[in-house]
Amino acid sequence: MIKEVKERNLLVACLPLKGIIFEIYNPYKNEAQLGIVEAYRGLIVTDHTSILFSKEPDISLLK
């Protein structure tokens, strides 16, 4: 899912599990920012949809 969003240039921000509300995605820090996917509870894409991860292998899409 993350790979597809990145390849289509749709990724705007990451939603960390703790701390700040969101982290603006920086494509120049791609590996450093997305290297630990478990640190995020979701993503925000260009149409302001939030993709939220869960403990199960499913996701939620919220507008």
Residue range 14-41, pLDDT digits in tens: 998 887 788 888 888 877 777 777 888 8
Which pLDDT does position 2 carry in this prediction?
80
Mean pLDDT value across residues 39-50 = 89
Instruction: Show Cβ contacts of residue 39 under 8 Å, excluding neighbours closer than 6 positions.
Output: 16, 17
Which pLDDT does position 5 carry in this prediction?
87
Instruction: Count up the domains in the chain and report the number.
Output: 1
* Residue 61 falls inside a structural domain: yes
* Residue 51 falls inside a structural domain: yes
* Residue span of the structural domain in which 52 resides: 1-9+38-63
Which pLDDT does position 12 carry in this prediction?
93
* Residue 28 falls inside a structural domain: no
Which pLDDT does position 19 carry in this prediction?
78
Confidence of residue 57 (pLDDT cuts 50, 70, 90): low
